[in-house]
Amino acid sequence: MTIERAASRPVRKPWGCLDPWPWSQRSADGAKVGELWFQRSGDKASESILLLKLLFSSAPLSIQVHPDDAFARSIGLERGKTEAWYVLSAESDAKIGLGLTRSVPQSDLQRAIGEGTIVDLIQWRNVKAGDAILVPARTIHAIGSGLVIAEIQQRSDVTFRLFDYGSDRELHIDMAVAAADAAPFVAQGRPRRLTDVRTQLVSCRYFTLERVDLEPDSEWMLNVDRETWALVLDGEAKIGQMTVVRGDVVFMEEDEVRVEVVNAGLKGLFAYVGSEAEANLLQRKGRRNAADFPSHKALASSASHGLTS
């Protein structure tokens, strides 16, 4: 039985931002933060199956691809990388790239990379806050500037870059071409309403991602029977003995805990292992007595999700 507040680790990236507020505080050395990786607390905690990140893009990321399990194992890696994105915020012209405008043979893909025309071969689309996208392994993809994205993925850090806008970072053209599905992207279904407070956003063989919207002054029983991550998007609640506010992440595994939502309500993302929605994830217990749980805003405003180098 496990329920714990996750720790965050900043990852510097040249395309990152200087101020990831309200999701975290500015880094002490003024470095650009591209990603926040959330991990279990404590040195003795077992490694999780999934990895939850926040991404901050002030410039376009590379055009890249992740291998599937079979390709990853063929080159000595434990697993591939399928991921899903939830757009937390987006500038008006923010775009992502998913797949190609048409299917091409590997030789044409390699030539487009060499000539720099791969940018024109990508299928670009506008995105807005609240969009959810499943990005299966082998999908050529890119994230444009002006985005903050929550990402849930298989725990893997293998990325093959095809094109990087003139950066001096290493490209992995041969591996990328071999691993990629050089074809248009096929959408993976639409969000599905599970209950009046739960919406399944995406699902695949590795994980399910859903959005939860809990009304003010309500009480719930949270039941998890597998590895589960929760990211607070807005509002405030008490989960067991922990008070959580926007930007907090909780890791849970095989546990049952009471959730008390305060007068602002609670909006969050839940991601867990498996392709089937957890039928009993949240059970309504009734209304909360406001006097039993005074507002935590004063503490929340001074709470630090501080970055460490």
Residue 251 burial (CB < 10 Å; 0-12/13-18/19+)? Answer: buried
CB 118 within 8 A of CB 178: no
End-to-end CA distance of the chain: 31
Give catalytic status of residue 246 as yes or no. no
Instruction: For residues 102 and 280, give the distance between their C-alpha atoms in angstroms, rounded to a whole number.
Output: 42
Phi, psi of 53 (to 5 degrees): -135, 160
Among 26, 102, 155, 161, the active-site one is: 161
Closest CA to 151 of 65, 98, 85: 85
Cα separations in angstroms, 214 against 252, 259, 286: 19, 10, 12
Cα separations in angstroms, 283 against 144, 194, 214, 224: 39, 13, 11, 11
* Residues designated as active site: 161
